[in-house]
Amino acid sequence: MTGLSLPTPPPPTDPPMDALLANTADSPPPSPSDSGPASPASSLHDDVELESGVASEAALSSVTDSFYEGTEKLLEIWFHDAHTPDHSKTPVVDQLGQLTPAAVSGKPADLRAIPRPMLDELLGHVNATIISRISTPDTDAYVLSESSMFVSARCLILKTCGSTTLIKAIQPLLQFVHKYTCFTGVEDLFYSRKDFLRPELQDELHRCFDREVKYLDNDLGFQGSAYCLGRVNDQCWYLYCLGQRRHRGPPGNQPAEDDQSLEVMMEQLDPAVMEIFTRRCCSTAQEATAKAAIDSIIPGLKMDDFLFDPCGYSMNGLLPSGHYVTIHVTPQSAFSYVSFETNVPASRHLTYLDILQRVLHVFKPGKFLFTLYSSKKALASLMQLQLDEYATFEGYKKMDVQVYSLRNYLLSYLSYVQDIT
């Protein structure tokens, strides 16, 4: 695997970095969600840390009629230090053959050492704010004004919807990692998203995947690989990655063979189900969670759920060993959208087909696609080899199946529509 060294902050006269810093410095401050702010009463778990002042923002009066892009952009970035075993073929040394200052500074090998004000500043470049947080020994999970963020020892996952500028977070993140941790390089990076319903409403950087790839390759220097799965004249899913992942594992843990990630993206959802995620139907997030039976999909989660005002819903759930579940709902009927994502390992008692059946039962989409990414030694990979045969769901017609072999990992993409025949 090819690793990337973290950049030492350059002198002010360095033109390329000056340009990047100028862009991020001019980014607008964090703003409330386009879907309207939420009330702190939306969260009903005693161990959830809520941010003060969230309820003081004025709600958008026409939110139920105004378009909102529920489709998320997803960034997952892993870091290594000088002591990470077998992390990269790239030595963690500078041009003089010495260990980089970060590697010998005594700083922690933990992204959670980045101070909270720096996380707020990071999200300011994205145009998102923190609403609440829950934690386990492995992971900090944040509900945002636009989706979620997960921070563990070596991995940061940032998922944002609306017109956020997600990949503008990468350059300041690298600076904070260099300043506050001993990490010396990027071990791997993944950026993915479904096609947008209204790409013209996105920031210019995110209006087309080609532009995003050029920014990641040319402006940030990652030189990764870009893929498009699905139909270019219909729904599709884009992926940008650095390449081989030798030992990603669950966030906050050592390398694991059962490395996997399942993401389900749903559209044209049942209006009766979507009504649950409005303040007309439910007054609290806990009420919406129970009424929709979300807690039945993967039981036993430490949960942080949030019901936006007047509509919209987010939920982060944590399990031991760095495993997570996250769900986001944009309920407006004209552009309804729901996403479900987890890295919980598949087992013989709970397969990914079981999880998918439960997700479909809860949300009842008119069409959906899912992606499954797993190490070839994981149980989920055995399922991937048989997806075309076994991934059938009552009431749905399979449209596309694509399976990619990416070195040590398998990637599957499947799309479905309701069968009205």
Question: Do 4 and 100 form a contact (C-beta atoms < 8 A)?
Answer: no
Question: Do 303 and 315 form a contact (C-beta atoms < 8 A)?
Answer: yes
Residue type, 249: G
Query: Which residues does the annotation mark as catalytic?
Result: 69, 72, 147, 161, 314, 328
What's the CA gap between 322 and 152, in Å, rounded?
8
What's the CA gap between 416 and 365, in Å, rounded?
10
What's the CA gap between 380 and 257, in Å, rounded?
11
Own/partner pairs, 199-203, CB within 8 angstroms, 24+ separation: 201/67, 201/69, 201/163, 202/69, 202/163, 203/163, 203/165
Q: What is the DSSP string of 62-91?
A: TTTTS----PPEEEEEEEE-TTSTT--SS-
Which pairing describes strands 73-80 and 49-50: parallel, antiparallel, or unpaired?
unpaired
Give the DSSP letter of residue 257.
Answer: S
* Alpha-helical segments (H) within 280-398: 285-292, 352-363, 379-384, 387-390
